[in-house]
Chain A
Amino acid sequence: MASGRNQKSSRPIRVLLAKPAIDGHDRGVYVLARAFRDAGMEVIYPGLLPTPEEMVRIAIDEDVDVIAISLLNGSHMTIFKKVMELLKKNHAEGIAVVGGGIIPAGDKPMLEKMGVSGNYGPGTPMSDIIDHIKKRARESRSKKW
């Protein structure tokens, strides 16, 4: 895995990694957290069960480039939608949102349309996810800076 430092500046990519559903199965997020850190990113982990409101506030306060959301329990349509609405309401649309977890193929186009990209399922190579986050972070920064 290459370094998570962005070419444009030396600033490490900052990513909020969250699992906002009412669900404590955190095996996946812990694996992601380590992999992101080892790829040179600064990973902000808000603990278990953050609400969409908390997530968006944290994302803004922490000036993250990307919000990575993992959802396993089928509540993605509700929760992703809420996060996107709140980002817009708080004028923070510049922050990229990347999804993952158990997301049926049929829901993916709708999520993409909302602005949630990735939507990776279990078994996706970590390097694919990391590359995608780097790409979205570059986009997010070019909008912010």
Chain B
Amino acid sequence: MKALADGLKRGDRGCIARCISIAEDEPEAFSKLIKGIYDPNRIPRVIGITGPPGCGKSSLIAQLAPIIASHGNKLGIIAIDASSPFSGGSFLGNRIRMEETVSSSNIFMRSIATRGAKGGLAASIMSALITLSCAGFDTVIVESVGAGQADVDILDIASTILLVLAPGLGDEIQAMKAGTMEIADIFVINKSDLEGAYQAKRAITAYLSTLSGPQSKMIANTSCTKKEGIKDLAGMIEKHEKSINTKSFIERAFSMEVNRIAKELLSRRVDGLLARNPHAMSNMLKGRVDPYSAAVKLLDTEKKHGK
């Protein structure tokens, strides 16, 4: 454990990688591991990237990453993919390709499966961010599952959210209005070299005009094949980061994380109680008590144990 913690502090890739795995699998071990090296004031800022399949999120990240990681900034990239509800397996195909020279030095990328979490992220995402912070990473790009309206958990962790769209996805934009559109700070019309980019921009502008109150939302045009508009997009991200209070984001993210962990621990405790008190369920099923009373009684058992 000590060697692992030291390696993490040094920024050793293998150690970072192992720590993220531990964070995914053994939260308690992870908590011990980061004791002493974890500094809550050094949490990286998170740029969230979401958008429908086929809009070119990965290619965009591949070109955005070297810009953000210039001047010695260490950049983490976490790509989330859905786990199969049937087998628990997952196909993680969002690895991005970059020039070897850039990527090997100060960019670290990791694919994480949702393992049952809804909302477009994985339960271990905050722990992964903490791990990266321990290794001295300043910024992390998080690419969420990108499956539309359920994909809003990114709000809880990202200070800037990019919603990536592409021309010809007009129907998708229509469908999205209800959910995902609201969360975006920057709308990115990727593949802007293709026909229909203008129409896409107009659709977004029209949407923005329906919103009330002052708007700070921005629209970027990018083309990964032509390598255009990426620098401007990076500039917009900086602009947005400066316009907000990142500290309050981090505080919020942390309180949500504590909330999540507490709930999970409680839920495990309840599972344990149920396993230890089979009669609680059988009484209810035999019609002796109603479900509500059975649950209250079950929790009372724990209180007694606690004393």
Asked if A and B form a direct contact in the complex, defined as CB atoms under 8 angstroms apart, the reply is: yes
Q: Mark B88-115, 1 if CB is under 8 A from A, else 0.
A: 1111110101001001100011110101
A128 beta carbon closer than 8 Å to chain B? no
A108 beta carbon closer than 8 Å to chain B? no
Beta-carbon contact of A12 and B100 below 8 Å: no
Secondary structure type dominating chain B contacts: mixed
Q: Mark B106-138, 1 if CB is under 8 A from A, else 0.
A: 001111010100000000000000000000000
Query: In the complex, which residues 1-58 of chain A have their Cβ closer than 8 Å to any Cβ of chain B?
Result: 3-5, 9-12, 14, 33-34, 36-47, 51, 53-54, 57-58
B42 beta carbon closer than 8 Å to chain A? no
Beta-carbon contact of A44 and B92 below 8 Å: yes
A33 CA / B83 CA spacing, docked (Å): 13
Interface CB pairs A-B, < 8 A, 29: A9-B25, A11-B24, A11-B25, A12-B89, A12-B113, A14-B21, A34-B91, A37-B84, A37-B87, A38-B84, A38-B86, A38-B89, A41-B89, A42-B92, A42-B113, A44-B92, A45-B91, A51-B100, A53-B100, A54-B97, A57-B13, A57-B104, A58-B109, A61-B16, A63-B14, A63-B17, A63-B18, A63-B21, A90-B14
Q: Mark B261-305, 1 if CB is under 8 A from A, else 0.
A: 000000000000000000000000000000000000000000000
New A-B pairs, 19, CB < 8 Å, besides A3-B87, A11-B21, A63-B18: A4-B87, A4-B88, A9-B25, A10-B25, A12-B90, A12-B115, A33-B91, A37-B84, A40-B87, A40-B89, A42-B111, A44-B95, A44-B111, A47-B97, A53-B100, A60-B17, A61-B109, A61-B110, A63-B14
Beta-carbon contact of A36 and B89 below 8 Å: yes
- On chain B, the residues within 8 Å of A144 by CB distance are 18
- Name which residue of chain A comes closest to B97, CB basis: A47
- On chain B, the residues within 8 Å of A91 by CB distance are 14
- On chain A, the residues within 8 Å of B110 by CB distance are 61-62
- On chain B, the residues within 8 Å of A51 by CB distance are 100
A92 beta carbon closer than 8 Å to chain B? yes
A3 CA / B91 CA spacing, docked (Å): 15
Chain B residues near A (Cβ < 8 Å): 13-14, 16-18, 20-21, 24-26, 83-84, 86-93, 95, 97, 100, 103-104, 108-111, 113, 115
